Structure 1
Amino acid sequence: MTTTNYSGKKVVVTGGTHGMGLATVKKLLAGGAEVLLTGFNPRNLEAARQELRAGVHIIASDTASLKDIDALAGIVGEKLGAIDLLFVNAGFSMLESFDQVTEATYDKTFAINTKGAFFTVQRLAPLIKNNGAVVFTTSIANQSGYAGMSVYAGAKAALASFVKGFAAELLPRGIRVNAVSPGFIHTPTMGVSGASREDLLAFEKLGDEITPLKRNGMAEEVAGAVLFLAFDATFTTGEEITVDGGLSKKLTPPELSH
């Protein structure tokens, strides 16, 4: 596998301790970038410290807390100074039918996926270099209806709107703002918090069955799309690209299309 040269690049990744965030961090570190990642779960933070060792700053930060976001901005300024990329990846979802959703889970879903993402960009934008980049993680859930994911889909749909709004706001500085929109991706949690092992296996099996490419994607494939938007797609802004094996496009194999 070819390693891209990110030498001299400085990057912040929120939600970088596992899954797609961690895969992106690993690609950046392999290419020589200096990375600051955040996480909230103490076990995941420690696992990242053990696995990544040198060359990365690992910070405990609650994306839902404005106090933590303000503190993060100070830490980033101190440790990295100006940054080339802000990857807003921290997220939260639960599989809950709409009639089981509580005010607490509703608020938590929007606090992390929407409010936290918005204020992370607001507070860290002054540190992003002119002609730098912001990349969000949205979801194909915001394009389709999935039972049990109504609140999550709504939160991510708001985030997709932020992509366009921030892209317009940051045009004068040449900062590009885009998003990756993953489908079924093979990660430790499959993007769902608190699910049982049986539920995760069923979720993965569903992804294999309904994704046109007949498999779940890999975290590294999403990371590749993130870094493409961040450093190669220099004439692209306000865009949300899907990394979903054709699921959102409802592609049909030839033998089934007649």
Structure 2
Amino acid sequence: MDRLKGKSALITGGSSGIGLETARQFLAEGARVAITGKNPETLATALSALGGEALVFESDAADVSAQKKLAEQIGEAFGTLDVLFANAGAVELRPIGQWDEAAFDRSMGINFKGPFFLIQELLPYFANPASIVLMGSVNAHIGMPNTSIYGASKAALASLTRTLSAELISRGIRVNAISPGPIRTPLYGKLGIPDAEQKNFAAAVESQVPAKRFGESIEVAKAVVFLASDEAPFTVGSELLMDGGLSL
């Protein structure tokens, strides 16, 4: 279990769900790991779940100025960075008529602007070779009602995967994306859906997935391990859809 032995890794949004499970898998594979989150209590709980083996940084993924500070902290902690998993994100579902500028900026900020400027600030610290994995979504590829801004923000990341791949490959930096479908994470409890309706919502989503189930965080985490490892040196600019066939 040493596929990431000796590598340093930063996982944004690493205090729960896919990010936390990826941190577990990275540690198990021998990496030095730092995670970020906004909530100090959630970060403390995550650190405990990781056996105290990770570094934790409180950081707002949507705040451009915070990305510079985070990059400097990573430089101080690791010297160089081998892996970035830009996982932090937000899902806000609204009909188009109910969006306002503040909500638009909030979603685009955490899902696209934040990761973009974090990569920019980390450029001096990336090792050669290094791997960047962006967290996309199947919603960039399907026309699901009420996901206009969320889908657009993830489509922007899919485009960024390709353009940065061409721009950064000469520096030894590979950029790839993971685009999951519905995954069983705490995220679904944060969508503002009343508790009494969450079971019906989950069943409705599950019925649209050909695999007839939600994915699990560990399935995504293991794919991120592959893209981050030296097993994927020829995987550049790819987007791995992990959606149980939802986008077919």
Q: TM-score range by the shorter chain?
A: over 0.9
- Paired with 1:140 and 1:72, the residues of 2 have a C-alpha distance of 28
Aligned to 1:255: none
Normalising to structure 1: TM-score of the pair?
0.91
Structure 2 equivalent of residue 121 of structure 1: 119
Q: Is the 8 A contact 2:2 2:29 kept in 1?
A: yes
Counterpart Cα distance in 2 of 1:191 and 1:106:
21
1:170 aligns with 2:168: yes
Q: Which residue of 1 aligns with 2:50?
A: 52
User: Which secondary structure does the structure 2 equivalent of 1:107 belong to?
Assistant: helix
Q: Distance in 2 between matches of 1:182 and 1:97?
A: 22
| Structural mapping, 1:76-91, within 5 Å | 76-91=74-89
SS at structure 1 position matched to 2:222: helix
Moved over 4 A (4+): none
Change (3 A) 1:119 1:217: same
Cα distance in structure 2, aligned partners of 1:126 and 1:83: 9
Q: Which amino acid aligns with 1:237?
A: V
**Which ranges in structure 1 are unaligned for 5 or more consecutive residues?**
250-258
Decide whether aligned partners of structure 1 residues 192 and 158 sit closer, same or farther in structure 2, where only a CA change above 3 A counts: farther
Matching of residue 31 in structure 1 with residue 41 in structure 2: no
Structure 1 residues 207 and 65: alpha-carbon distance in aligned structure 2, compared to 1, 3 A threshold: same
Which residue in 1 is equivalent to 2:220? 222
1:23-80 CA deviation, whole Å, 9 max, x = no partner? 1000011222110110012332122122223220011000111221110011000011
How many correspondences in the alignment? Answer: 247
TM-score (norm 2): 0.94
- Amino acid of the structure 2 residue aligned with 1:23: E
Q: Measure, in 1, the Cα distance between the counterparts of 2:82 and 2:161.
A: 17
Name the SS of the counterpart of 1:169 in structure 2: helix
Aligned residue for 2:133, secondary structure, equals strand
Q: 1:159 aligns with which of 133, 157, 160?
A: 157
- Quick one: structure 1 residues 101 and 36, their matched pair in 2 at CA, closer, same or farther if it must change by over 3 Å? same
- 1:197 and 1:122 map into 2 onto residues whose CA distance is 40
The aligned counterpart of 1:203 is: 201
The secondary structure found in structure 1 opposite 2:149 is helix
3-state SS, counterpart of residue 70 of structure 1: helix
Name the counterpart of 2:109: 111
Partner of 2:96: 98
Q: Deviations over 1:121-161 (max 9, x none)?
A: 11112211112100000101010111111110011111111
Which residue of the partner structure matches residue 130 of structure 1? 128
Q: In structure 1, how many angstroms separate the alpha carbons of the residues matched to 2:122 and 2:189?
A: 25
* Matched AA of 1:238: G
Distance 1:202 1:121, change over 3 A: farther
Q: C-alpha separation between the residues in 2 aligned to 1:225 and 1:203?
A: 27
Contact 1:184–1:204 under 8 Å retained in 2: no
| Post-superposition offset of 1:201 | 2.7
Q: Distance in 2 between matches of 1:105 and 1:122?
A: 25
Q: How is 1:234-245 mapped onto 2 (pairs within 5 angstroms)?
A: 234-245=233-244
**2:245 aligned with 1:246, yes or no?**
yes
Tell me if structure 2 keeps the 8 A contact 1:19–1:188: yes
1:25–1:130: structure 2 CA closer, same or farther, 3 Å change rule? same
- 8 A Cα contact 1:65 1:116, kept in partner: yes
Alpha-carbon distance in 2 for matches of 1:191, 1:227: 26
CA drift at 1:164:
0.8
Q: Is the 2:111–2:154 Cα contact (8 Å) retained in structure 1?
A: yes
Picking from 21, 38, 41, the partner of 1:40 is: 38
Aligned-partner Cα distance in 2 for 1:205–1:145: 19
CA contact (8 A) 1:138 1:181 kept: yes
Q: CA deviation at 1:238?
A: 0.8
